[in-house]
Amino acid sequence: MGEASEPPARWQVLGSEHLFRRPWLTLRRDRLRAPTGAVIEEYYVWEYPPWVNVVAITTDDRLVLIRQYRHALGETHYELPAGVMDPTDPDPLAAARRELLEETGYGGGAWSPLLTSSANPATHNNLTHSFLAIGVAPVADATPDATEDLEVSLVSRAEARELATCGGIVQSLHLAALLTYLFVRAEPGAETGAEAGERALV
| Contact status, residue 64 vs residue 136, Cβ threshold 8 Å | yes
| Contact status, residue 182 vs residue 157, Cβ threshold 8 Å | yes
- pTM equals 0.89
Task: List pLDDT tens digits, range 49-86.
Answer: 999 999 999 999 999 999 999 999 999 999 999 999 99
* pLDDT given at position 201: 40
Task: List pLDDT tens digits, range 80-131.
Answer: 999 999 999 999 999 999 999 999 999 999 999 999 999 999 999 999 999 9
Which domains does the chain show, CATH number per domain?
A: 12-47 (no CATH), 51-201 (3.90.79.10)
